[in-house]
A and B are shown apart, each in its own frame.
Chain A
């Protein structure tokens, strides 16, 4: 029996989510009394075997094909499908990221197997041959689904940030597998790429000052911008705001926006609908500024100010400036 971890990488650089995947795969293999093996796709990822062996994979499969120079969902999915056919693992686990979901779905479609994305828990008694019970995130994490995967080979992705990477080194064997890729799967390779400019983003900023429908207009975000500036933070918003065209979607927090985890989230004129909350709930502290003491965000936040944001936000900025002698 085998548990196969798919190692997500970008042009040879391992992604942070992969460490959790390797650790979860190793734990599951231990529980099942199975071998823990890993797969990298493309020769540009061969050098990752060093770090993968630190996580205890006994065999590292390296899928090679001269076309595998960059990411391509069809080609990666087909590579996984061919490796799975060859080594017939009982469980295949990948990262719960955009790419992770995509390549597992691709492989599952090619193998005509079920797949469960964003798994949070796996049955602690699973031995490898029976149907696998998992708990997975629905509604972007607002709801949990207990479900059962009934197939000889189970394909899953692990929800992000659920399992922390823990090393447990071994001497891994390397097994190169030449995969065959026809022209049809080569179509969807990345053709071009504009690198991201480094800097604080909504996802990484320790302070987020966010506005909702209560802000009222695009112009009325100026005081929020000012407060964010004083705190070296960034401005976020709710979907009501992006739908009104007041701000760009890149600022949206929530299920279909960005997941954030700042030290403090200051939510101004936001009601805290579940789809918004799910994007903000990982914040270490939440301060709600709202006229409605019953608003969902007020009752769920650690701190709240009841009042009109148009008055409260400038007053906070004024107080900061006073204390900083600005």
Chain B
């Protein structure tokens, strides 16, 4: 069985997100990089499925060449193969990204056979577009369900569990299929020693891709207005307990 997981390199901001002076990007001067937690969980889910059923997991990203770092991290947690679609900018718009991903996946499938499952994150951490996975799946002519909090594979049927306000919904997709995964589906493992070694050695395949610009264009980024903070310090240590309970009484949460 073969599973492909699509991940996106994004900065990992801490207490606040700073923006470059031209307001086009997050200022990454002092930041590390990561992928969305949803995508970390998609990688973990793929590795677990392969451990159960046998086969290989491939990770794919479209991004700057530095995104190699995120591919190698995935390899250190049990992924076998990694493919990079290098671009000159931080990212492409969703239509263009999906076009490129779908054409590269089609190329990979000519060489390796169809992926039984292609996994995405529910949404990317930075742009939160909620659409690249769906667009890619439709270009490949495959069913897709987003928001997976459970995913099993048996006899060519992918069973997806997801939560809605109404309850827990079950979907059954005939493979080859695509699924958008949400954090909470599993607890991603930490890299092992063996994994770290493998990640240093893995050959990262590069596939070029083109695609026309889509119709959603970023103009500027800005920070939302910040909540006025005039923190009232109620005290230090256990002596503050009385002031805290006074506050709770005042707010009416404790009667």
Whether A105 pairs with B131 at a CB distance below 8 angstroms is yes
Residues of B within 8 A of A138 (CB): 126-128, 221
Whether B131 lies near A109 (C-beta < 8 A) is yes
Task: Report whether A146 and B220 are in contact in the complex, using a CB–CB cutoff of 8 Å.
Answer: yes
Q: Which of B15, B231, B232 contacts A274 (CB 8 A)?
A: B15
* B173 and A196 contact, CB distance less than 8 A: no
Q: Which secondary structure characterizes the binding site on chain A?
A: mixed
Query: Roughly how many angstroms separate A184 CA and B138 CA in the complex, as a whole number?
Result: 11
Complex alpha-carbon distance, A15 and B224, angstroms: 27
Q: Is there a chain B Cβ closer than 8 Å to A35's Cβ?
A: no
Known A-B contacts A143-B223, A305-B234, A311-B237; A263 and B16 likewise in contact (beta carbons under 8 Å): no
The answer to whether B229 touches A320, judged by C-beta atoms less than 8 angstroms apart, is no
**Chain B residues whose C-beta falls within 8 Å of the C-beta of A151 in the assembled complex:** 215
Which stretch of A24-32, A49-57, A112-120, A163-171 is in the interface? A112-120
The reply on A61 being an interface residue by CB < 8 A is no
CB of B139 to closest CB in A, whole Å: 8
Contact flags A248-267 to B (C-beta < 8 A → 1, else 0): 11101001110000011000
- Report B211-255 CB contacts with A as 1/0, cut-off 8 Å: 000111111111110110111111111111111110110011110
Q: Is B13 an interface residue (CB 8 A)?
A: yes
* List of A residues within 8 angstroms of B230 by Cβ: 302
The answer to whether residues A116 and B216 also contact, given A194-B167, A274-B14 and a CB cut-off of 8 A, is yes
A74 contacts which chain B residues (CB < 8 A)?
143-144
**With a CB–CB cut-off of 8 A, which chain B residues contact A293?**
233
B218 contacts which of A137, A147, A323 (Cβ < 8 Å)? A147
Selected from B26, B128, B241, the residue in CB contact (under 8 A) with A319 is B241
How many interface residues does A have (CB within 8 Å)?
101
Which B residues are CB-close (under 8 A) to A239? Answer: 37
Given contacts A109-B135, A306-B233, A312-B240, contact A196 B130 (CB under 8 A): no
B164 and A10 contact, CB distance less than 8 A? yes
Q: Write the nearest CB–CB distance from A190 to chain B, whole angstroms.
A: 5
Contacts of B239 in A (CB 8 A): 315
Query: Chain B residue with minimal CB distance to A276?
Result: B15
Q: Is B203 positioned at the interface, with any CB of A under 8 Å from its CB?
A: no
- A303: chain B residues at CB < 8 Å are 231-234, 244, 247
Residue on B with the closest CB to A116? Answer: B216
Task: Say whether B187 faces chain A, with CB atoms less than 8 Å apart.
Answer: yes
Check if A206 is an interface residue, CB within 8 A of chain B: yes
- What count of chain B residues pass the 8 Å CB interface test? 84
The segment from A40-48, A96-104, A172-180, A211-219 found at the interface with B is A96-104
A residues 182-213 with Cβ under 8 Å of B? 184, 187-196, 206-207
The answer to whether B147 and A98 have CB atoms under 8 Å apart is yes
- Given the known interface contacts A188-B145, A256-B183, the answer about A263 and B131 at a Cβ–Cβ threshold of 8 Å is no
Whether B144 and A73, one on each chain, are in contact in the complex, defined by CB atoms closer than 8 angstroms, is: yes
Checking A77, A101, A255, A285 against B251 with a beta-carbon cut-off of 8 angstroms, the contacting residue is A285
- Asked if B146 is an interface residue, CB under 8 A from chain A, the answer is yes
If A10-B164, A303-B234, A311-B238 touch, does A316 touch B227 (CB 8 Å cutoff)? no
Report chain B residues within 8 Å CB of A118: 128, 130
- A304 in the interface, Cβ–Cβ < 8 Å? yes
Q: Which of B125, B138, B139, B254 contacts A139 (CB 8 A)?
A: B125
B66 proximal to A (CB < 8 A) = no
> Shortest distance in angstroms between B77's beta carbon and chain A's nearest beta carbon?
13
Nearest chain A CB to B129 CB, angstrom units = 6
Q: Are A304 and B128 in contact (CB under 8 A)?
A: no
Q: Are A192 and B170 in contact (CB under 8 A)?
A: yes
B37 and A256 within 8 A (CB): yes
Q: Mark A278-301, 1 if CB is under 8 A from B, else 0.
A: 000100010110000100101111
Q: Is B55 an interface residue (CB 8 A)?
A: no
B237 pairs with A307, CB closer than 8 A? yes
A260 CB to nearest chain B CB (Å): 14
Q: What's the minimum C-beta distance from A74 to chain B, rounded to whole angstroms?
A: 6
**Contacts of B234 on A, CB cut-off 8 Å?**
287, 303-305
Q: Which A residues are CB-close (under 8 A) to B237?
A: 305-308, 311-312
Q: Which residues of A contact B172 (CB under 8 A)?
A: 187, 191
Residue pairs across A and B with Cβ atoms less than 8 A apart, 22 shown, are: A10-B164, A73-B145, A113-B215, A114-B216, A145-B127, A146-B220, A150-B217, A187-B174, A188-B144, A257-B184, A264-B251, A273-B13, A273-B15, A296-B16, A301-B229, A303-B234, A305-B235, A305-B244, A306-B235, A306-B236, A307-B237, A312-B237
- On B, residues with C-beta under 8 Å from A are 13-17, 19, 26, 36-38, 93-95, 98, 123, 125-131, 134-135, 138-139, 141, 143-147, 164-174, 182-184, 187-188, 214-224, 226-227, 229-245, 247-248, 251-254
**Closest 10 A/B residue pairs (Cβ):** A249-B184, A114-B215, A315-B238, A101-B130, A105-B131, A315-B241, A296-B15, A307-B237, A192-B170, A114-B216
